[in-house]
Amino acid sequence: MIEAFEMEKVSPTGRLHVAVVGAEKNGKSRLCSTAPGVKLFLDFDQRAESVAGIKDVYALTLKDPGGYQMPQAAQDTLDIVAKLEASLCLTNLHPNFKHISSDIKINNIILDSGVSLGKCIADFEMYNNKDLGREVKVGPSFSVRIQQNFDAWNAEIKTVESIVLRLFALQVNVYMTLHETLEHADNSTPKEPKFTGKVTVFPERYSRLLRYFNEVWRVKLTNVSNRYLPRVYPLPDYAFDAATTMLLDPVEEPNIEAMIAKHKVKSGQTKVLSVGTK
């Protein structure tokens, strides 16, 4: 399939694909909740309460049953993606959403978070392919399976990549929250870790996903009048290779709707067509 666009008539904010990177508990999920329109959180962290009480936010928490039962969150995620490809109506996704009008369409999908999505996929793949993992006994009646080779890691990242790209094909904004970690230097080893002084996404192999996102924003708690509050850093600096196609300042308030409005004012943007708009 080939798509064609006259890019002069396409707005950078018409369909946003945003990687939101930051340390834990720095405000990534709350930032995503400020996107304009109806938001669907695919919650893999089992903490949908982080966006509790916010209008136009709907969440599906995906988790495995645990124990020796077959992991199912990965397959449930693939089923949800297939349903979204058929329709962007909330009512089709879960019985608890049946009361919602079919006129209400999803405008934003948030994968929260990437590392937890990857764990769900890894657990599912190791359960179905024993060669991808090894079992470690923690106690007399409990054991865990961990990935043991590049095949396991590649299977995980390729599945995450497939989910992201399938969502990108939909007529919605897509946000993915990713945790950050110190970037290892080329000569770093497990016994003697060395770092570059920069940060990158965790796990570091997930940095390959960033190529697909036009927007890569870092969220960081920042000293504001002697209080540490979340702030968005959409421009690259010495610590992190952020990126944006929008006209934004180096530091922004954590409000996506306001960030979009600022870009439109700075660009003198009037009526433009979004990618995919007919």
Which residues touch 42 (CB under 8 Å, ≥6 apart)? 59, 60, 62, 77, 80, 109, 110, 111, 112, 117
Query: How many residues would you count in the chain?
Result: 278
- What string of H, E and C letters represents the secondary structure of 180-222? EEEEECCCCCCCCCCEEEEEEEECHHHHHHHHHCCEEEEEEEE
Nearest in space to 44 (alpha carbons), one of 61, 58, 25: 61
Which DSSP helix (H) or strand (E) runs through 59?
A: strand 57-61
Give percent of the chain with pLDDT exceeding 90. 73
Please check whether residue 111 is in contact with residue 28, taking contact to mean a CB–CB distance below 8 angstroms.
Answer: no
Per residue, the 3-state secondary structure of 19-42, as one string, reads: EEEECCCCCHHHHHCCCCCCEEEE
Please tell me the pTM assigned to this model. Answer: 0.91
pLDDT band at 49 (very low <50, low <70, confident <90, very high): very high
* Domain range annotation of the chain: 7-267
Amino acid found at 164: V
**Given this model, what pLDDT does residue 274 score?**
53
143-192: per-residue pLDDT in tens? 777 787 888 888 999 999 999 999 999 999 999 999 999 999 999 998 99
Architecture of the domain whose range is 7-267: 3-Layer(aba) Sandwich (3.40)
Banded pLDDT at 242 (limits 50, 70, 90)? very high
Of the pLDDT bands very low, low, confident and very high (cuts 50, 70, 90), residue 13 is confident
pLDDT beyond 90 at 42: yes
Largest CA distance in the chain: 67
The pLDDT score that the predictor gives to residue 270 is 56
